[in-house]
Amino acid sequence: MITNTQIHDRVKRALSGAGSTPWLYGYDVVGIQDFIGARSRPIAMRGASESVIAVDREHQKLATNIFSGGGRGVGIAPSQKDALGICEKLTTQHRNSGGVLATAMVPFQVKSERDCLTWLRYRLEVAKDEALPPPGRPPEDKAGQCENCCRFPVEPNPTRTHDEKRVCLFCDLAIRLGRKIDPQMRQSLSELSPSKRIAAVSADGNGMGRFFDSLQSLEQFAVASESIAGVFRVAHEAAMARLAHPGVPLVTGGDDIRVFLAVEDVLPYVTELVRKVEETAEQTAKLLQTVLPRASVELLRTLGIGVGVVVAEDHHPAEQLLEYAHLLEDSAKVSCQVGSPGSKAPLRSALDLEVLTSRDAFSAGQPERSGTDERPFSLDRASWESARQRASALAQVPPSQLSTLAASRTMDEHEFRNFFRYQVARNHEWQRYLQQTNMDWRKASELDKGCPGPGLLALLRLMRTETRP
> Does the structure show a pLDDT above 80 at 315?
no
User: 65-69 and 197-205: which strand pairing?
Assistant: unpaired
Give yes or no for a contact between 258 and 266, defined as CB atoms under 8 angstroms apart: no
| pLDDT score, position 403 | 86
**Residue ranges of domains in the chain, CATH in brackets:** 4-129 (3.30.70.270), 189-379 (3.30.70.270), 390-463 (no CATH)
Phi, psi at residue 368, to the nearest 5°?
Answer: -100, 135
424-466 residue pLDDT tens: 889 999 999 999 988 888 888 888 888 888 899 999 999 988 7
**Residue 203 backbone dihedrals phi, psi, to 5 degrees:** -135, 150
Q: Which residues pair with 310 in a beta bridge?
A: 200, 354
Please state, for a pLDDT cut of 90, what percent of the chain lies above it: 56
CA dihedral 124, 233, 264, 307 (to 10 degrees): -40
Q: Is residue 131 a contact partner of residue 142, using CB atoms and an 8 Å limit? A: no
How does pLDDT run across 219-245, given as a tens digit for each residue?
999 999 999 999 999 999 999 999 999
Strand locations in 314-376, DSSP E?
350-355
Which residues are registered as beta bridge partners of 25?
Answer: 75, 105
Give the amino acid at 95.
R
Confidence band of 341 (pLDDT split at 50, 70, 90): low
The answer to whether the beta carbons of residues 215 and 296 sit under 8 Å apart is yes
Compute CA distances 364 → 72, 300, 327, 367, 368, whole Å. Answer: 31, 35, 11, 7, 9
Taking the C-alpha atoms of 54, 59, 60 and 64 in order, what is their torsion angle to the nearest 10 degrees?
Answer: 180
pTM of the model: 0.89
User: Is residue 271 predicted with pLDDT exceeding 90?
Assistant: yes
Cα–Cα distance, 134 to 151 (Å, whole number):
10
| Separation between Cα atoms, residue 366 and residue 379, nearest integer Å | 20
pLDDT in tens, 185-210: 777 888 888 888 899 999 999 999 99
Tell me the per-residue pLDDT of 59-93, one tens digit each, with 9 for 90 and over.
999 999 999 998 999 999 999 999 999 999 999 99
Q: How confident is the model at residue 363 (pLDDT cuts 50, 70, 90)?
A: low
Task: Compute the distance between CA of residue 299 and CA of residue 455 in angstroms, rounded to an integer.
Answer: 30
Mean pLDDT score across all residues of the chain = 89
Q: 27 Cβ partners below 8 Å, 6+ apart?
A: 55, 59, 72, 73, 87, 90, 91, 101, 102, 103, 124
Query: What are 149-180's pLDDT values in tens digits?
Result: 888 898 877 666 656 678 898 998 998 898 88
| Nearest to 375, CA basis, from 412, 423, 342 | 342
Task: Read off the pLDDT of each residue in 389-398 and give the average, rounded to a whole number.
Answer: 92
The predicted pLDDT at position 225 comes to 94
Structure confidence at residue 139 (pLDDT): 87
